[in-house]
Amino acid sequence: PSFDTIIRGGTVATAADTFACDIGIRDGLIAALGRDLGDADRVIDATGLLVLPGGIDSHVHFAQPSGPGIVMADGFESGTRSAAFGGNTTVLPFCVQQKGQTLREALKAYHAEAHGQCYVDVSFHLVIADPTDQVLGQELPALVEDGYTSFKVFMTYEGMALSDMEMLQVMSVARRTGALVMIHAENFDAIRFLVDKLEREGHVAPRYHAVSRPIPVEREATHRAISLAELVDVPIMIVHVSNGEAMEEIRRAQAKGLKVYGETCPQYLVLTEKDLEGLNMEGAKYVCSPPPRDKDSQEACWRGLETGVFSVFSSDHCPFRYDDPAGKLNPKSRTSFRWVPNGIPGVAARLPILFSEGVSKGRIDLNRFVALSATNHAKTYGLYPRKGTIAIGSDADIAIWDPERRRTLTHDLLKDGSDYTPYEGIEITGWPVVTMVRGRIVVQDGELVGEKGFGAYLAREKSPYAAPRREF
């Protein structure tokens, strides 16, 4: 036979086009697009289905040390399994440097965690928590050349927050090396001030997490991050944008011609701060940073997706178990929201939510869905055109979707290591029925058929999106 697999009769969509065509796959690559491709060892009938580039989730957290006694609910096995169930073929988790640790030490630990465990392909962003002279001068530039072409910095969190001076230093390394800086934009001192004040007043329930990080905290940090990047003339990605005011900062920068990119996530489209008000400790299930806001913020985030201010839509999957002393309900969590681990699971729910709320409800078209779910992630982070599109020569990373399939989101559909989903009960129209990584089926009709360890580590290219404008 000419091909290992032919996907026949489907409607193919890329970020640009929608067309009826068959796909011939050979040696893990897309080898032909057309009609009457001949024979193959296996034919997948995609009649009535959509054939899309596999999802790329460029913002997930797996196996991250999360403080004394706290255990993240997903390592690389369950995290990449859940990703595959949600129609994803590549994920980009973070390799987090601890204070006092070198980047290479951190990478060694994460590679050891990931090795032989993954169902889908994986690449790492670095988190720079300790930008010593050695890190900035030697390690980071060398690691960019090795294929770690993006790094995240935090403007908040104890032990993670960088000063403005350190942010500028990291940005200038990124400019010099052609890497992309991702920024968690919240004002650390403002949060500390508000947390102390709320605790003194006895406001310690999970809902006060949202009160301690209101919109101005995020808007100010977003503005500051953009200003610092403008000083250095370096492209940046503002991650997990939760509201219209922070989004307007990004829009304004883009209108000035700055290479400032934005990301939003499902929690900012379908959750609100009201969810943090659940009975007893239920609100802890929704504690993440930035917190979900209100209906107006949801609408603003949709506008950001519709108009292109946000180029990527990621899950920020950061899973903890709820009913677990190593998770949300750890012994200290009842004494203050301060001790509730930040983050929620969502790697499998991301694309069904965007498809259903976005495409099925007519807010975005199918091509924008593909751009937001896959293509723009690949382009932004140096994986394109190997990943993120359906084109001859690209990896055969494909998600076949049934646009009519209805589901009610429940945790057991998502196959992650947590014990709940914050999206429980959401009605979905449109579901991924086959997830294929490099020509191999990983999930089919709700069954895991992939092989643990087939998921590969990807060294990444420098992205054209990260190239400075060279104005100076």
Out of ligand URP, Zn ion, none, which partner does residue 342 contact, by CB within 5 to 8 A per kind?
ligand URP
Instruction: Kindly tell me which of 144 and 182 has the beta carbon lying closer to Zn ion.
Output: 182
Task: State the nearest-atom distance from the C-beta of 369 to ligand URP, in Å.
Answer: 23
Task: State the nearest-atom distance from the C-beta of 70 to ligand URP, in Å.
Answer: 12
| Amino acid in the structure at residue 128 | I
Instruction: Kindly tell me which of 336 and 389 has the beta carbon lying closer to ligand URP.
Output: 336
Is the CB of residue 50 less than 8 Å from the CB of residue 33? no
Residue burial 177-214, b: 16+ Cβ < 10 Å; e: rest:
bbbbbbbbbbbbebbeebbeebbeeebbbbbbbbbbbb
Instruction: Kindly tell me which of 318 and 399 has the beta carbon lying closer to ligand URP.
Output: 318
Instruction: Kindly tell me which of 8 and 223 has the beta carbon lying closer to Zn ion.
Output: 223
Instruction: Kindly tell me which of 206 and 450 has the beta carbon lying closer to ligand URP.
Output: 206
User: How far are the Cα atoms of 424, 431, 433, 466 from residue 359, in angstroms, in the given order?
Assistant: 20, 12, 17, 29
Task: State the nearest-atom distance from the C-beta of 354 to ligand URP, in Å.
Answer: 18
Instruction: Kindly tell me which of 213 and 386 has the beta carbon lying closer to Zn ion.
Output: 213
Out of ligand URP, Zn ion, none, which partner does residue 115 contact, by CB within 5 to 8 A per kind?
Zn ion
Instruction: Kindly tell me which of 84 and 318 has the beta carbon lying closer to ligand URP.
Output: 318
The verdict on 289 binding ligand URP (CB under 6 A) reads yes
Q: Which of 347, 411, 351 is nearest to 92 (CA)?
A: 347
The verdict on 316 binding Zn ion (CB under 5 A) reads yes
CA distance 426 to 275: 14
The verdict on 343 binding ligand URP (CB under 6 A) reads yes
User: How far are the Cα atoms of 143, 234, 462 from residue 176, in angstroms, in the given order?
Assistant: 13, 9, 12
Tokens of 351: 């694309």
Q: In the window 23-62, what residues touch ligand URP (CB under 6 A)?
A: 61
Q: Which of 62, 86, 121 is nearest to 437 (CA)?
A: 121
Percentage helix, strand, coil, to 5, in the chain?
35, 25, 45
Candidate list 18, 98, 101, 342; residue touching ligand URP; CB under 6 A:
342
Is the CB of residue 6 less than 8 Å from the CB of residue 44? yes
Is the CB of residue 240 less than 8 Å from the CB of residue 185? no
The verdict on 184 binding ligand URP (CB under 6 A) reads yes
Out of ligand URP, Zn ion, none, which partner does residue 321 contact, by CB within 5 to 8 A per kind?
none
Q: In the window 218-247, what residues touch ligand URP (CB under 6 A)?
A: 240
Cα-based angle 149, 150, 153 (whole degrees, multiple of 5) = 150
Task: State the nearest-atom distance from the C-beta of 256 to Zn ion, in Å.
Answer: 25
Candidate list 175, 184, 209, 213; residue touching Zn ion; CB under 5 A:
184
Candidate list 218, 263, 316, 395; residue touching ligand URP; CB under 6 A:
316
Is the CB of residue 389 less than 8 Å from the CB of residue 374? yes
Task: State the nearest-atom distance from the C-beta of 110 to ligand URP, in Å.
Answer: 15
Task: State the nearest-atom distance from the C-beta of 389 to Zn ion, in Å.
Answer: 25
CA distance 68 to 337: 16
CA distance 432 to 430: 7
Task: State the nearest-atom distance from the C-beta of 356 to ligand URP, in Å.
Answer: 23
Q: Which chain residues interact with Zn ion by CB under 5 A?
A: 115, 184, 316
Q: Which chain residues interact with ligand URP by CB under 6 A?
A: 61, 184, 240, 288-289, 316, 318, 342-343
